[in-house]
Amino acid sequence: MSLLVLCEFRARTDGEAEFLRVARALASAAATEPGTLRYQWFVTQRPGHYSIIEEYVDADAAETHNNHVDSLLRELFAVADLVSVSFYGELNQYLREWISGREGIAINVPLSG
């Protein structure tokens, strides 16, 4: 089963241009990853807020993505705040550790049976 990740970011007022540059670079990098099924940024109705839909073949592919773009993610977090993250699917140990202590996280696991 694939892993779907929905995130919302708030770009800092003085860093919005840099946020957009990094978001585009992340999308370009994700396009080269075989385990990434979808990686698409959106502008929300709130000024300075952006959302992204990420879909990976599984949690390990999401981990591979984060490792691949680590330096870009650091740049992104320097100019934006993570507002929320929703996971749909099974998480691996890496993702469980990543969410530990963070606010605004929702984990949705498949309904069994």
Instruction: Report the CATH number at residue 83.
Output: 3.30.70.100
**28 located within any domain:** yes
pLDDT at 113: 62
Question: Is position 113 within any domain?
Answer: no
Give the residue numbers spanning the domain of 54: 3-108
Once rounded to an integer, what is the mean pLDDT over residues 99-112?
93
Percent of the chain, pLDDT > 90? 96
Question: SS3 of 59, please?
Answer: helix
> What total of structural domains would you count in the chain?
1
The CA-CA-CA angle for residues 57, 98, 14, to 5°, reads: 100
What is the rounded average pLDDT of the residues 61-85? 98
Mean pLDDT, rounded, of the chain = 97
Residue 18 within a domain: yes
3-state DSSP assignment of residue 56: strand
Q: Is the whole model's pTM more than 0.85, yes or no?
A: yes
3-state secondary structure (DSSP) of residue 91:
coil
Q: Answer whether residue 68 is part of any domain.
A: yes
Is residue 64 a part of any domain in this protein? Answer: yes
